[in-house]
């Protein structure tokens, strides 16, 4: 960096040890002035009004007034831990990403678990999807695997994310219910929007109420493209397998915990780590041949509402994640961490999954607001553990004193020592072409087969729990037509499931042809000749 005329100072990962310890002998202002009395404001006499000139009062109150930042628009409630990822080396045959490919290589990580819909102060054990976001501080730059505890998603195209979230969040008028799917807007949307069915089945299953973050699986959901050292490519799906096994609460336990200890999961995470009972997960991949079709055994790998059964493609272990250290400060670390699906290193690429494509835009965009401008990569928790030598400059909360006069390329002032945009991350040059349309592949129209497969894979007691969950949640819906429409969706999944939920709700099981919302866009109709939208 010394010879870099652009003047970038490389940022190293950790907090400077002397910062934030609050260990000094004297209380000071933010400017370092010693303060003798922080309990009394400066007044015109002991009974008089406070004086505007009291800079200590004003600084103390002003800073307090601005302590809060916006909570995340989704996944607001979270808990996190530091740890280490150790690679087995088995990934070398499919990726050149060093943190995965080099046997025994250890990479620091920060992991944030979350619920999706509740606010920051909501309860841990509500029925919801859980986030499982992992930041790897690799020596090639940060990699974020921003996953969930369920392998599929409610929507196939990110353009519908605002719709599913608006439907799932508390009602706009009363802001209730908080973080539960027991409400009209959620069921209104998913009963009209049947591509959500598979994910709804997962959410209503025992997976929706995990016992502990220690016993929760994680999934990258989307298909990724891995690139090996010779340029060969494979398609993969990432899985986190908890070493302690997968366990859920039963509904009554979840209800009790939400009342008696709303911090049930975060307490368990922090206490477990404090006690030395570290949380462990094995990272693995399902590997599929790369092909123009991007399918495997007839399953469309670009459709995030579909899984590939492990019987068809076993999960191959790549390394072990151990969470072994609690954050020192919730705000500085858990709240300010910024994950982004676009944080990648050579050897890992995204695919054209239309849900993934929208995420590539959304994370950075939302963090510009949430973290107050473009420099949040400089926050200690977000700093890469690789040298940073960018030409990004200035902006709100700039913390780096850049030196030099040439933060641009090309320049003639850097000599041979300056930064060169060479090598590094280069996308595999795949051909992209097609008509400009708002349309999905026809395979995306299958909304039910995997929901049916998921139900068939369950044990008897798991089916009972699922039926009880549907009955409870739909029982909270005010609008009868929404309940009835959801029953027609369940009839598509399994007639017995539908009949049992209908009985629980005191409604007749739907007769005749079940409803369907296969609603191809007009553009798709023109291309394929399939019927247009249902009027």
Figure out which of the listed residues 85, 88, 99, 161 binds ligand HEM, where binding follows CB under 6 A.
161
Q: Does the protein bind ligand HEM through residue 351 (CB under 6 A)?
A: no
Tell me if 370 is assigned to a ligand binding site: yes
3-state DSSP call for residue 81? Answer: strand
Choosing from 75, 82, 265, 465, the catalytic residue is 75
DSSP-H helix ranges across 193-263: 197-204, 251-260
Question: CB of 355 within 8 A of CB of 158?
Answer: yes
Query: What are the Cα distances from residue 51, in Å, to 38, 42, 47, 60?
Result: 15, 6, 12, 14
Q: Does the protein bind ligand HEM through residue 358 (CB under 6 A)?
A: yes
Taking the complex as a whole, how short is the minimal distance between the CB of residue 147 and ligand HEM, in angstroms? 5
The size of the interface with ligand HEM (CB under 6 A), counted in residues, is 28
With CB atoms as reference, the residue minimizing the distance to ligand HEM is: 131
Q: Does the protein bind ligand HEM through residue 330 (CB under 6 A)?
A: no
Taking the complex as a whole, how short is the minimal distance between the CB of residue 205 and ligand HEM, in angstroms? 17
Question: Which residues, in sequence order, are CB contacts of 395 under 8 Å at separation 6+?
Answer: 373, 374, 375
Angstrom distance (rounded) from CA 367 to CA 362: 9
Tell me if 207 is assigned to a ligand binding site: no
Question: CB of 380 within 8 A of CB of 337?
Answer: no
Q: Does the protein bind ligand HEM through residue 221 (CB under 6 A)?
A: yes
Q: Does the protein bind ligand HEM through residue 359 (CB under 6 A)?
A: yes
| Among the residue ranges 12-20, 118-126, 143-151, 318-326, the one whose residues contact ligand HEM (CB under 6 A) | 143-151
Place of tokens 């009062």: 57
Q: Does the protein bind ligand HEM through residue 224 (CB under 6 A)?
A: no
Figure out which of the listed residues 75, 135, 193, 198 binds ligand HEM, where binding follows CB under 6 A.
75
Figure out which of the listed residues 96, 112, 199, 207 binds ligand HEM, where binding follows CB under 6 A.
112
| Among the residue ranges 6-14, 359-367, 468-476, 510-518, the one whose residues contact ligand HEM (CB under 6 A) | 359-367
Figure out which of the listed residues 122, 125, 148, 212 binds ligand HEM, where binding follows CB under 6 A.
148
Restricting to residues 267-306, name those near ligand HEM by CB under 6 A: 304
Restricting to residues 43-72, name those near ligand HEM by CB under 6 A: 72
Spell out a b/e string for 277-291, using b for 16 or more CB atoms within 10 Å of the CB, else e: ebbbbbbbbbbbebe
Choosing from 148, 149, 326, 375, the catalytic residue is 148
Taking the complex as a whole, how short is the minimal distance between the CB of residue 316 and ligand HEM, in angstroms? 21
Figure out which of the listed residues 8, 95, 107, 114 binds ligand HEM, where binding follows CB under 6 A.
114
- Backbone dihedral region for residue 77 (phi beyond 0: left; psi -120 to 50: alpha; all else: beta): beta
Task: Tell me 50's DSSP state.
Answer: B
Restricting to residues 369-398, name those near ligand HEM by CB under 6 A: 370
| Among the residue ranges 249-257, 269-277, 360-368, 499-507, the one whose residues contact ligand HEM (CB under 6 A) | 360-368
Report the residue number, 161 or 281, with the smaller CB distance to ligand HEM.
Answer: 161
Parallel, antiparallel, or unpaired for β 295-296 and 299-300? antiparallel
Angstrom distance (rounded) from CA 463 to CA 492: 16
Figure out which of the listed residues 11, 146, 249, 258 binds ligand HEM, where binding follows CB under 6 A.
146
Following CA atoms 268, 271, 275, 277 in sequence, which dihedral angle do they give, to the nearest 10 degrees? Answer: 30
Taking the complex as a whole, how short is the minimal distance between the CB of residue 207 and ligand HEM, in angstroms? 14
Q: Does the protein bind ligand HEM through residue 264 (CB under 6 A)?
A: no
Question: CB of 299 within 8 A of CB of 198?
Answer: no
Spell out a b/e string for 342-381, using b for 16 or more CB atoms within 10 Å of the CB, else e: ebbbbbbbbbebbbbbbbeebbbebbbebbeebbbbbbbb
Q: Does the protein bind ligand HEM through residue 133 (CB under 6 A)?
A: yes
Angstrom distance (rounded) from CA 448 to CA 445: 9
Known catalytic residue: 75? yes
Question: Which residues, in sequence order, are CB contacts of 113 under 8 Å at separation 6+?
Answer: 78, 79, 80, 130, 131, 132, 133, 213, 216, 265, 269
Q: Which residues form the interface with ligand HEM (CB under 6 A)? A: 72-75, 78, 112, 114, 131, 133, 146-148, 153, 158, 161, 221, 304, 337-339, 355, 358-359, 362-363, 366-367, 370
Catalytic residue set: 75, 148
Residue list for the binding site for heme: 72, 112, 161, 359, 363, 370
Residue list for the binding site: 72, 112, 161, 359, 363, 370
């Amino acid at each position: 960096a010394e010879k870099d005329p652009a003047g970038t100072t490389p940022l190293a990962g950790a907090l400077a040890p002397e910062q934030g310890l609050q260990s000094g002998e004297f209380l000071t202002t933010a400017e370092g002035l010693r303060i003798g009395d922080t309990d009394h404001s400066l007044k015109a006499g002991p009974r008089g009004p406070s004086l505007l000139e009291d800079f200590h009062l004003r600084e103390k109150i002003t800073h307090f007034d601005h302590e809060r930042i916006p909570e995340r628009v989704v996944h607001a409630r979270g808990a996190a831990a530091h740890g280490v990822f150790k690679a087995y080396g088995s990934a070398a045959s499919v990726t050149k990403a060093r943190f995965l490919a080099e046997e025994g290589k250890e990479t620091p990580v920060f992991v944030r678990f979350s619920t999706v819909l509740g606010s920051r102060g909501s309860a841990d054990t509500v029925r919801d999807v859980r986030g499982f976001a992992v930041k790897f501080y690799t020596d090639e730059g940060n990699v974020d695997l921003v996953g969930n505890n369920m392998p599929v998603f409610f929507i196939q195209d990110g353009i519908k994310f605002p719709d599913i979230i608006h439907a799932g969040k508390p009602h706009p008028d009363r802001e209730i219910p908080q973080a539960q799917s027991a409400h009209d807007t959620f069921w209104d949307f998913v009963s009209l929007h049947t591509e959500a069915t598979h994910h709804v089945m997962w959410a209503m299953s025992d997976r929706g109420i995990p016992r502990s973050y220690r016993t929760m699986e994680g999934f990258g959901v989307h298909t990724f493209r891995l690139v090996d050292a010779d340029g060969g490519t494979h398609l993969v799906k990432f899985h986190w397998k908890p070493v302690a096994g997968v366990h859920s609460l039963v509904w009554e336990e979840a209800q009790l915990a939400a009342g008696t200890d709303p911090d049930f999961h975060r307490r368990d995470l922090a206490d477990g780590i404090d006690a030395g009972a570290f949380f462990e997960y094995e990272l693995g991949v399902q590997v599929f041949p790369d092909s123009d079709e991007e399918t495997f055994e007839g399953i469309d790998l670009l459709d995030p509402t579909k899984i590939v059964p492990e019987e068809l493609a076993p999960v191959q272990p790549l390394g072990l994640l151990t969470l072994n250290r609690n954050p020192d400060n919730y705000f500085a670390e858990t709240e300010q961490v910024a994950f982004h699906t676009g944080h990648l290193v050579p050897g890992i690429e995204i695919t054209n999954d239309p849900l993934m494509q929208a995420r590539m835009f959304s994370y950075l965009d939302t963090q510009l607001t949430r973290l107050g401008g473009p420099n949040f990569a400089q926050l200690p928790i977000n700093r890469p553990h690789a040298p940073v030598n960018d030409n990004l400059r200035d902006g709100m909360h700039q913390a780096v004193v850049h030196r030099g006069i040439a933060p641009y390329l090309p320049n003639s002032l850097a000599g041979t020592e300056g930064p060169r945009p060479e090598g590094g991350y280069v996308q595999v040059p795949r051909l992209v072409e097609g008509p400009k349309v708002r349309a999905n592949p026809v395979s995306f129209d299958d909304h039910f087969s995997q929901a049916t497969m998921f139900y068939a894979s369950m044990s008897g007691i798991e089916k009972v729990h699922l039926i009880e969950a549907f009955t409870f949640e739909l029982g909270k819906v005010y609008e009868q037509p929404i309940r009835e429409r959801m029953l027609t969706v369940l009839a598509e999944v399994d007639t017995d499931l539908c009949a049992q939920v209908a009985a629980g709700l005191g409604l007749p099981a739907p007769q005749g042809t079940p409803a369907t919302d296969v609603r191809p866009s007009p553009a798709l109709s023109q291309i394929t000749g399939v019927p247009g939208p249902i009027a």
